[in-house]
Amino acid sequence: MILSVVAVNLIPNDPILRHLRQSLPTENYTVLFGSTPTDQFAECAEATVGISPKHSELGLLERSIRSPTLGSCEQAWQFLKTGTSNAADNQWFYWNGAQIIMRPALAIASVLNVRALTFFLFVSSFMFAFLSLYRYGLNLAGLGLLAGLFCVHLQSALFLLPHAIDWVIGFVACGWIVTALKGNAPISANRFSCAFFLIGSLDAFFSQFCYPLLSLTIPLFGVFWAVGFQKKNRMADSLVLVLAATCFWSIGYAAIWWTKWLLATFFIDDVFANVLGAAKFRLSGASGEIEMTLAKSFISVLRETQATAIFAVVCFITSLVPLVRFVKTLDRPWVDLSSFVIICALPFVWFAGLRNLTIIHAWFVSAGLYISFAMLFSLLLMSWNTQSHLRDRSRART
C-alpha cells in the first residue's frame, strides 16, 4: 500500500488542477441540505493531497511521505487562481492513503463526478449490509440500520470520498461479518480476529481521522444482531465477540499509524514532534476562545442531533413496557445488554477523547452517533415485534 502512495504521485498534477479549476467558484455540496453548515476546509484539503506550492522543490519520495495539501478552500482557491499560496506543506497524515483514490479519480473526472462516485459507493455499501441482514432474517435490524441514517448529518459522507471511506468500510465489513457468522460454515475465532485487525488497518490507511470508529461500530452492529438476543442455539456470547473485535480493530488501527510514522522518520525529520503536537492539540488543545471541555464536546455533538435525539428518547420512554417484556424472554439478558451498551457508548468515548476535533468539527463528527441511533431503533423494533407475538399468543389461548 505504501508503494501505491508513491505510484499515484507519479500522476501529473495538470489534469487534476484543470478539474479543480473547473469547480471554481466552489460547488457547495451542502446547498442540497438547506441550512446545514458549509464546509470550507475538508473537501479542498482532500482534493489537493499531493499538490503543494513548493511542488517542484519536493522529490517524489518526500512528496509521497509528506502528502502535502493546499489546505483550506480559501488557500486552495488562491493557488488555483494565482499559482501561489501560503498553505502549510503537510498535515500529520504521512503516507496519506486517501490520495490513492483521490488523485486518479480527479485526474480523469470532475469534482462533481467524484461526488457522484462517492454517493454511489455509499449507497451500494449500505445496501450490501442491509441485504445481508435481510437474507438471514434480521429484517428489523436492517430497518434500524436504515433508520439511523435519518438521525445524523450525512452531507460529507455522501459527497466527500475520504470521509465516505469510513462508512463504506464499515458497511461492507458489516455485511461480510453477518454472512460469516450466520452462514453454513461459521467463521473461526482466528479469522474473526484477523478480519477486525484488517478492518482497523484499512481504515487507518485510507481514512482521514473524521469518524474512523464507524468502521468498527457498524460491523459490531452486525456481530451483535447475528449472535445476540438469541434464546437458543447461541454460537457465542455477544459480549466476548464485541470485546475481541474492539481489541483487534484497535491493534490494527494503531499498528498502521505507527508503521507510517516510523517509515517516515527514515526520510524526513521531526515526524514524531509533529505527530505529538497534533495529538496534543486534538485531545484538548485550545482553539481561539473556544473552551475545550468534556461537557462541551458532548453538548456540541448533541446540539447537531438534538431533534433526532429527542425523538429517540421519546421512543425509548414509550417503549419501556415492550422492552421489559422483551428482556424477560432472553436467555442471558445481562450479557447481551452489556454488549448493547458498549456499542452505543463507543462514540461517546471517542468524543470525550478527541475533544478538540469533536467541538471544532461537530457538524460532521456528530455522525459517529449513527450506530447509537441504529442500535436503539433496532432494539425498539425487536421489542415491539416480540410484544406483538406475545399478544397474538395470548389471544389464541383465549
pLDDT for position 200: 93
pTM for the model stands at 0.88
- The distance in angstroms from the start CA to the end CA of the chain is 66
pLDDT for position 33: 39
Give the pLDDT confidence of 224-233 residue by residue, as tens digits: 998 876 655 4
pLDDT for position 390: 52
pLDDT for position 396: 55
pLDDT for position 233: 46
Task: Please list the rounded mean pLDDT of every run of 10 residues in the chain (398 residues).
Answer: 84 86 58 46 76 72 82 76 67 80 88 87 95 91 92 82 88 93 78 93 84 91 83 65 93 92 84 78 62 74 84 87 80 84 91 81 84 92 74 56
pLDDT for position 170: 95
Give the pLDDT confidence of 96-148 residue by residue, as tens digits: 888 888 889 889 988 888 888 889 999 999 999 999 999 988 899 999 999 99
pLDDT for position 4: 87
pLDDT for position 98: 84
